[in-house]
């Protein structure tokens, strides 16, 4: 399938929709926590980071639509960690697996433009198919990333409704005019060109374990016309039934994300692949 590294590529949303139709809605989080590296019999080193990352990719490439490396767990190893992340992103593109850099970047002005340049510009060693963004300096502060993603055929996932307990204090604020609702509405405006035709390229991050929050806050995710990145499947407690119940009419746009639920099956490639296959079959 085309990757964001190919000239003349389709927009991210269209490519993601095609990949989900072909492979299913699984995104595998690549989260090389020190404890997980130890459980695999690896040390907390750059070489362990590389072994872990490329092993996960090899295992899930035939099954997953996307992989989502957690940038912080590469950054903690400094420049050598970023070099491993660059290698992983390139290997995923070569394998035809879409990538979501889970960087949660958010800032203003030239700083936001710099983040956009790193993660979304053609020719950047860190360029992924998409990147997660934090909009809590205001949605419009993300404009440099939104515009560069559109120009380069890449996508973004904007944090909207996360499942961590602290998130509600900000995201639920405003009640029927909540911050989360306004983020969803802003994403819908960005995607309006694609409404009724294909997925737009501005997605949202909505936790798979948010329960009734979408209904309680009056958020219509189907109206966003963009992909929904839903972390929390598996080890965090969400099931495939929970996804259907939580997302309702927006479920076809949901990219269900499992990390520990699959990664703890390692370090053998065959075991990791079976865990990914079992997860896909349940969706």
Structural domain contains residue 3:
no
Q: Has residue 6 been placed in a domain?
A: no
What pLDDT does 163 receive?
86
Question: How high is the pLDDT of residue 128?
Answer: 98
- What local confidence, expressed as pLDDT, does residue 242 receive? 87
The residues pairing with 28 across neighbouring beta strands, listed in sequence order, are: 67, 258
Residues annotated as catalytic are 104
Give the model's pLDDT for residue 197.
67
Low-confidence ranges of the chain (pLDDT < 50): 1-7
Does 1 fall in a domain? Answer: no
Q: Please count the CA atoms within 13 angstroms of the CA of 164 that sit on its side-chain side.
A: 6
At 8 the pLDDT is 57
The answer as to whether 147 is a domain residue is yes
Residue 2 forms part of a structural domain: no
Domain with 19, as residue range(s), is 12-282
pLDDT at 5: 41
Closest by CA position to 254, among listed 191, 212, 208, 218:
208
| Number of domains forming the structure of the chain | 1
pLDDT in tens, 215-265: 999 999 999 999 999 998 876 778 888 899 999 999 999 999 999 999 999
Residue 151 lies in a domain: yes
Q: What is the CATH number of the domain that holds 185?
A: 3.20.20.70
Predicted model pTM: 0.95
pLDDT of residue 235: 66
Alpha helices in 175-265 (DSSP H): 179-190, 213-216, 240-247, 260-263
For residue 53, being part of any structural domain is answered with: yes
Residue 191's contacts (CB-CB under 8 Å, 6 or more residues apart) are 13, 199, 200, 201, 202, 224, 225, 226
Q: Which residues contact 139 (CB under 8 A, 6 or more apart)?
A: 158, 182, 183, 186
């Amino acid at each position: 399938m085309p990757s964001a590294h190919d000239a003349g590529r389709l927009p991210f949303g269209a490519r993601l929709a095609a990949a989900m139709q072909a492979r299913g809605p699984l995104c595998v989080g690549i989260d090389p926590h020190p404890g997980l590296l130890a459980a695999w019999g690896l040390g907390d080193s750059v070489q362990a980071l590389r072994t872990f990352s490329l092993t996960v990719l090899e295992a899930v490439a035939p099954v997953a639509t996307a992989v989502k490396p957690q940038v912080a767990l590469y950054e903690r190893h400094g420049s050598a960690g970023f070099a491993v992340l660059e290698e992983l992103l390139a290997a995923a593109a070569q394998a035809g697996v879409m990538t979501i850099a889970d960087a949660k970047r958010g800032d203003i002005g030239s700083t936001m433009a710099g983040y956009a340049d790193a993660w979304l510009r053609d020719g950047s060693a860190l360029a992924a198919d998409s990147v997660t963004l934090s909009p809590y300096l205001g949605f419009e502060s993300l404009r440099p990333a939104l515009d560069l993603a559109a120009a380069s055929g890449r996508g973004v996932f904007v944090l909207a409704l996360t499942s961590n307990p602290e998130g509600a204090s900000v995201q639920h604020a405003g009640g029927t005019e909540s911050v989360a609702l306004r983020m969803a509405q802003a994403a819908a405006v960005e995607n309006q060109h694609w409404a009724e035709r294909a997925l737009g390229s501005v997605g949202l991050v909505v936790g798979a374990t948010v329960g009734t929050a979408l209904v309680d806050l009056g958020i219509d995710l189907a109206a966003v016309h963009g992909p929904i990145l839903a972390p929390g499947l598996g080890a965090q407690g969400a099931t495939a039934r929970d996804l259907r119940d939580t997302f309702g009419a927006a479920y076809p746009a949901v990219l269900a994300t499992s990390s520990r639920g699959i990664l703890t099956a390692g370090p053998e490639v065959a075991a990791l692949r079976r865990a990914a296959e079992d997860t896909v079959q349940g969706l």
